[in-house]
Amino acid sequence: MDLSKAISAELRDFEVCGGVRLSCYCSRPEAAGNGARPLLLLHSINAAPSAMEMKPLFEHFSASRPVYVPDLPGFGLSQRGSLPYSPDFYAQALVDLLQRIEGPPPDVVALSLTGEFMARAVLEKGALVNSLALISPTGLGNRQPPSPSAGARINRILNISWLGGSLWRALVTRPSIRYFLGQAFYGPTPDELVDYAVETARESGASSAPFAFLTMQLFTPDALRSLFSPLGIPMLLLYDQDPNIGFEQVPELLAANPLVRERRIIPTRGLPHWERPQETFDALAGFWGGLP
């Protein structure tokens, strides 16, 4: 790959899902000492995500604890192309990655849809984590993903070579990426976020995972009841507004699961760790500090 690194840190490759290469940025600060609890940061799923999305959190917390930020399969410096993209595939990738992280079970921060993958990894595959912080999580709005048959029809359309290729080229132009990222900010969109999204979207095989996302088949129907309500680990919801995600079911989750806490980072539109970083850092530190 010609793609540059998103974060100035050690980059390690792991094998997940029986042979898929996953690249992960790692920080091992001497100040943390042996036995320090690791932190795993998970970027979102969209047209051009990568570990870059979690850079502010990595840079802040890597001075005091081991931090891991993977490029999930299909994105960034990890393996791309034709892979069996599905919620179960990503959950298994996270399980396999967690088994290679040294130390006690980590705290996890997941952005948007990857929170569903992490919840599935814990519930269905026995992944061991200490806590889960969800930034602008999917699965807690009133709008539900389409049926599998509807998703299959979308997939057939996207796989028409000339149509899918034209759609992809339109999606990942610099003006298009700046527009969509700009929806997540009240203020100006950081140039480094736009620049890296444009760069990563130009790599070979970059459209495969995003097209799986656009079919809406990476979402779990009724995630509130099937994933988040029964999850038996401490959870923190960090959110405010989001142009693409609803949070109407948050009160129901708070009532159903006593391990869940919420914090509104106001005003933000989906990426509070970029737009109001210190408030986000403080909310996370306070959450972890209150855990048993």
- State the pLDDT confidence band at 115, using cuts at 50, 70 and 90: very high
Burial-class residue 126 by CB neighbours within 10 Å (0-12, 13-18, 19+).
exposed
DSSP class per residue in the chain: --PPPSSSSEEEEEEETTTEEEEEEEE--GGG-TTPPPEEEE---SSS--GGGGHHHHHHHTTTS-EEEEE-TTSTTS--SS---SHHHHHHHHHHHHTTS-SSPPEEEEETTHHHHHHHHHHHH----SEEEEES-SS-SS--PPPHHHHHHHHHHHTSHHHHHHHHHHHTSHHHHHHHHHTT-SSPPPHHHHHHHHHHHTSTTTTHHHHHHHTTTTSPTTHIIIIITT--S-EEEEES--SS---TTHHHHHHH-TTEEEEE-SS-SS-HHHHSHHHHHHHHHHHHHT--
Provide the whole-model pTM.
Answer: 0.94
Fill in the amino acid letter for 192.
E
Is residue 19's pLDDT more than 90?
yes
Q: How far apart are CA 112 and CA 45, in angstroms?
A: 7
Map tokens 């995500």 to a residue: 49
* pLDDT tens digits, one per residue of 177-194: 999 999 999 999 999 999
* pLDDT tens digits, one per residue of 201-231: 999 989 989 988 988 889 999 999 999 999 9
Mean pLDDT of the chain: 92
At the second CATH level, the architecture of 10-289 is 3-Layer(aba) Sandwich (3.40)
* pLDDT tens digits, one per residue of 63-86: 999 999 999 999 999 999 999 999
